[in-house]
Amino acid sequence: MPVADTSQLISGVAERYASSLFDLALEAGSVESVGADLDKFQSLINESADLKRLIVSPIFSADDQFKAIFTIIAKAGITGLVGNFLKVVARNRRLFCSAWHRQVLS
């Protein structure tokens, strides 16, 4: 039995999340600030092996991810749409779909 390619599934999930966030940002007139907050979060990911591990590892529960993301974004000053979005993504165990943050403003 062949192993399924999950990259298309992850890409589809990421696209739906990105599209939803972009639509909310357009509605709120905050596309630029959403982009800045996403860039800030991406910088945090790039600078921290522990954050990368939290995002991709299946050993962390949704609750673990939510608590960690809640603390990280509070310290980073990421609030509003992106703050709420990241909490939802963490709660839904979709942090591993890292492509969503690259797709939002594409």
CATH number where 60 lies: 1.10.520
Give CA torsion, residues 19, 20, 25, 28, to 10 deg.
140
Domain count, the chain: 1
Tens digit of each residue's pLDDT (9 = 90 or more) over 41-90? 989 988 999 998 998 888 999 999 999 999 999 999 999 999 999 999 89
Helix 31-47, helix 80-91: angle, nearest 10: 50
pTM beyond 0.75: yes
- Domain extent at residue 39: 7-103
Residue 1 lies in a domain: no
